[in-house]
Structure 1
């Protein structure tokens, strides 16, 4: 049996098949495991490293390569399946398979357009860099001297609105929270620049799916951010905001780059 298996795999003396995913998958950074793992698998699909109908590595292997739990990986695969990009099959020859172009969504090319990239008329990297600079700067400025009681109430109210928002309304509430932070930074110029870049950012976000797991993660980061700001922890506020921006950037690059 062992000899036959080696023959089926290409011969006992044959070299093992090349690792097509070497260099494409790497351990994610702490803090944005879901978003960064999703972005990396999207890149694998976009590059065609696993062909249509091909099977992704087993969950255990994928989770180990990405440095995430299998629970997180399953959430990533579910998000991709919901977008019609992969499908799970059970049984002896089961696994997660890349869906063909025609089968992905009954003939519509929408999910595949997300992978191939879109000409959105803006510079993605420039927008992401400017957004991070302004958001991180605003968070630090707000926390440095500690917000006034009135400012703290505004932040808490904006945070509560994001927590109460339905998925369809979340982006609007999210935008308001960030605009409030920019407004409370004490720099009218920063607030004006942030409003402009946020409008562009929202145009980009509207082109990718709304993922419940990402919203939950974002909300936890929002809560940590508001806590750091209201406690006057400028370094902590900047770090939470930087991580928050990195998660959004990973998703946008994954779907649109």
Structure 2
């Protein structure tokens, strides 16, 4: 029986993001984000290292996305953000080598085919993650509901109720996207993800982004460590096919 590969070996082999330039090998159809009916604000913690922790929002909605590269509708499990210490980095994908200060990930699972999220996460067609770039600009009115509530989960281990929020309001007007088959960017790094990376970013203000920077990797009684750089840099394509929903 083969031994499970060490995390370091997996990290060298599996991609965590892509550099998108003129890679458009096929045209996929449109996709749709459906309505979400309940969200809960809390925490997510992978592994033992403090930099694998960030705030998370989960949902109990029955369906979330359909169409595009998917044969079945997928259910939204959670969404979270990745960001850096400066405005020049933070996203896990880049466009023509350009990073963004923050990236939103909406994590979905194939609930029609699999009984649990864990079962779906182990299957090659089990998960779908929608990536949305955030860039600095005007204040994003819908984002205020999130950023104004971040103080409630400032410390590791804290949770708070967050109801009646539809993440559809965080999407850009254009849903043009790139898509490829890849992996989760956090342990266990399963190669079970169909990625949809939206071409158009959304804009948030400096003040809104700074509210992410006040979050901490540590508990209230611990020495404080600022939560930042909770992203992984882009990796080589290694022969993966990237498709797009739009023409170059």
TM-score range, shorter chain: under 0.3
TM-score normalized by the length of structure 1? 0.26
TM-score normalized by the length of structure 2? 0.27
Identify the structure with the greater strand proportion. 2
Identify the structure with the greater helix proportion. 1
